[in-house]
Amino acid sequence: MGKQKKTRKYATMKRMLSLRDQRLKEKDRLKPKKKEKKDPSALKEREVPQYPSCLFFQYNTQLGPPYHILVDTNFINFSIKAKLDLVQSMMDCLYAKCIPCITDCVMAEIEKLGQKYRVALRIAKDPRFERLPCTHKGTYADDCLVQRVTQHKCYIVATVDRDLKRRIRKIPGVPIMYISNHRYNIERMPDDYGAPRF
Fold designation for 63-185: Rossmann fold (3.40.50)
User: From first to last of its 198 residues, what are the pLDDT tens digits of the chain?
Assistant: 567 777 777 767 777 777 777 777 777 776 667 777 777 777 777 777 777 888 877 788 888 889 999 999 999 999 999 999 999 999 999 999 999 999 999 999 999 998 999 999 999 999 999 999 998 888 789 999 999 999 989 999 999 999 999 999 999 889 999 999 999 999 877 655 544 444
Q: DSSP letters along the chain, please? A: -PPPPPPPPSS-------TT-TTS-TTTSPPPPPPPPPPTTSPP----PPPPTTEETTEETT--SSEEEEEPHHHHHHHHHTT--HHHHHHHHHSS-EEEEEEHHHHHHHHHT-GGGHHHHHHHT-TTSEEE---SSS--HHHHHHHHHHH---EEEE---HHHHHHHHTSTT--EEEEETTEEEEES--GGGSSPP-
pTM value is: 0.70
Instruction: Break the chain into its structural domains and give their ranges.
Output: 63-185
